[in-house]
Structure 1
Amino acid sequence: MYERDVTPKPVPFYLKPRILLLVVLVVVGLILFFTSFFVVDQTEEAVVLRFGRYHRTVGPGLHWKLPLGIDRNYNVPTQVIQNMSFGFRTERPGVVTVYSSRDYPGESIMLTGDLNIVDVEWIIQYRIVDPKAWLFNVEDRTKTIRDISQSVINMLVGDRAILNVISVDRTMIESEGQELMNQLFKQYDLGITVTAVKLQNVVPPKGEVQDAFEDVNKAIQDMNRLINEGKEAYNKEIPRVKGEAQRIIQEAEGYRAERINRAEGEAKRFLSVLEEYRKAPEITRTRLYYEMLEKVLQNAESLDLVDKTLENFLPLKALGGTGTTGGAR
């Protein structure tokens, strides 16, 4: 017997034209909305292109642009200090920075002015100041920065002796390098300014040259140490000797003044005695005689006096210790 499927067929989904148009308008509106605004961070500036041509530069904030790719924005970090290293690379920056174990001798090995070879590692810090120039004036920005920086440092190192490069001229190379790099970047209209050039390791190449140079450095350090020790001993001894000399001079001055004063006093005393003598010679002679005896006998403990013709012997002793002894002439 023939069987027939009498199950009713599903009615196809049908949208009214108004609903379809509304959906299309909503989707188009969302696309227009999300492509009409862009945000610029506080550390950035945005360059806006219209149909691929430069249109304007805007600062931080929310900005409007023509949708559907008519306007395109390119955010550039103009307030961020960027670094570029030469002769080494940083694998992981942080509190404990990890550097790459690979060497870059093509960047760091240089010839000095006295025909020695030195290994110089350095970094530059720069900031983008013109977003438009940064985006469009130079095709390979990184290579241009590296080439200009290398040429400047090579030139500055090549004008100096190796000992000056390693020691006294490091700061001068950094300041002159920063100035020359900024001049060249301005000529290339790269849109950046170098804020700092910092030399890192400046050493002779590894091997026998470096070992010999380290020996020279040790000898120089020993020389400086001995010079400093000598200066210290000099500074310690000279003031003491000068003080001692000054003390001796002062003592001599005091002794001189004392002798002069004493001599002047004795001279005045002699003149006064002479004047008295002229007035009364006999009295003055007697007084001078007694004064002389008093001075001679003032420390005597035991004394025997005799007359000058030995006619009378007068043994007079000081009885009881400190009595005064007298006698006749």
Structure 2
Amino acid sequence: MGEYVNISGREFPIKIIVYVILILLVIIAIFTSFFTVDAKEESVITRLGRYNRTVGAGFHWKLPLGIEKNYNVPTQEIQNMTFGFRTEKAGIVTVYSDRDYSSESIMLTGDLNIVDVEWIIQYRINDPRAWLFNVEDRTKTIRDISQSVINQLVGDRAILDVISTDRPEIEIQAQELMNDIFTQYNLGIRITTVKLQNVGPPSGEVKDAFEDVNKAEQDMNRLINEGKEAYNKEIPKAEGEAQRIIQEAEGYKAERINRAKGEANRFLSVLTEYRKAPDITRARLYYETLEKILANRDTLDIIDSNLENFLPLKEVGKNIGGTR
């Protein structure tokens, strides 16, 4: 009776039960002694809960029955985290979550404006042992540090710089600062990319006011450009007109000077002749003056103040011409 065991109303020999148990233990030992590691992974092996070793890709052996355990870590895979939004389905047409994550993305700028900054970080695990054992809540730690760094960098800048010119600089500095902090925490990861996505004023009255300011600035720039265009158009025209007037004045000046010089030279020549023969010169000047006065004066009548009628000079001239 001692060599049998009653199981569910049936008796089984103890030897058979022992053999079955041994066989099961061997099978379990075989299945728990081997494991595989993917090409993109590294595996951390613990012995009785304590770190023992790290192995790479391939087929490996370990102590069975839970004495050693393996933890495969995707060290060659680039992982993402998003802030201010979530992606529900990636693909040709990306589907984003409708939930509000503004608590992550709303922050204060250096000029005391509110801005909504959405960003993505990409990282790779470079130390699987540190990744598994050094930090309890790895995801929360990464998110908290990333938010702290972006808030710091945005808080050092004006809102217009954050939205436009300083975006590449913020991405570079954020990557460097995050890596420095993660190294201090010995988290076992390396940030490969920080990419700002949608950056702008938050929705609502702030966004509407900001858009009004941008529109006003665009109108101002447009008016300035139109003014410069009109300036560039009118100034050359005015300068050309001024040059024309100056040239005409110079021509008139030269003409007046030359005419004055000619008159002066003529006067000097007359003066010279007058000094040589005053009477003759005086008479010549008198006749020349009369000639200028009487030139082209066919209807001119000369009246002698001592006579009561006109002198018949015209008739005399005609008669003389007729006699010839």
Taking structure 1 as the reference length, what is the TM-score of the superposition?
A: 0.62
Residue identity over aligned pairs, in percent, reads 39
Deviation at 1:144, TM superposition (A): 2.0
Where does 1:312-323 land on structure 2 (aligned, <5 Å)? 312-314=312-314
From 229, 236, 241, the equivalent of 1:243 is 236
Deviation at 1:258, TM superposition (A): 1.1
- Cα deviation, 1:208-243, whole Å, max 9, x if unaligned, reads xx4322342243134224312321331132223322
Contact 1:305 1:315 (C-alpha < 8 Å) held by counterparts:
no
Q: Which residue identity lines up with residue 176 of structure 1 in the other structure?
A: Q
Deviation at 1:155, TM superposition (A): 3.5
Q: SS of 1:314's equivalent?
A: helix
In structure 1, the gaps of 5 or more residues are: 1-27, 205-209, 317-325
Q: Distance in 1 between matches of 2:231 and 2:293?
A: 49
Q: Distance in 2 between matches of 1:71 and 1:296?
A: 138
**Going by fraction, where is helix more abundant, 1 or 2?**
2
Deviation at 1:146, TM superposition (A): 1.2
Aligned to 1:54: 53
Q: SS of 1:88's equivalent?
A: coil
- Cα deviation, 1:178-222, whole Å, max 9, x if unaligned, reads 332121112122331242231425443xxxxx4322342243134
Where does 1:1-329 land on structure 2 (aligned, <5 Å)? 40=39, 44=40, 46=42, 49=45, 53-55=52-54, 74=72, 76-78=74-76, 80-110=77-107, 119-131=116-128, 133-158=130-155, 170=167, 173-190=170-187, 191-204=189-202, 210-281=203-274, 282=280, 286=284, 303-306=298-301, 309=304, 311-314=311-314
Q: Distance in 1 between matches of 2:205 and 2:59?
A: 66
Deviation at 1:253, TM superposition (A): 1.6
Per the alignment, do residues 136 and 289 of structure 1 end up closer, same or farther by CA in structure 2, a change over 3 Å counting? farther
Contact 2:201 2:207 (C-alpha < 8 Å) held by counterparts:
no
Contact 2:150 2:174 (C-alpha < 8 Å) held by counterparts:
yes
Aligned to 1:6: none
Q: Distance in 2 between matches of 1:124 and 1:315?
A: 122
In structure 2, the gaps of 5 or more residues are: 1-26, 275-279, 305-309
Q: Which residue identity lines up with residue 197 of structure 1 in the other structure?
A: K
Deviation at 1:174, TM superposition (A): 3.6
Q: Which residue identity lines up with residue 74 of structure 2 in the other structure?
A: V
Q: Distance in 2 between matches of 1:197 and 1:311?
A: 116
Per the alignment, do residues 77 and 247 of structure 1 end up closer, same or farther by CA in structure 2, a change over 3 Å counting? same
Contact 1:123 1:200 (C-alpha < 8 Å) held by counterparts:
no
Q: SS of 2:204's equivalent?
A: helix
Q: SS of 1:198's equivalent?
A: strand
Per the alignment, do residues 117 and 223 of structure 1 end up closer, same or farther by CA in structure 2, a change over 3 Å counting? closer
Aligned residue pairs, count? 271
CA RMSD of aligned residues (A): 4.5
- Cα deviation, 1:241-292, whole Å, max 9, x if unaligned, reads 3224313321232123112211221133124323432454457985996699
Taking structure 2 as the reference length, what is the TM-score of the superposition?
A: 0.62
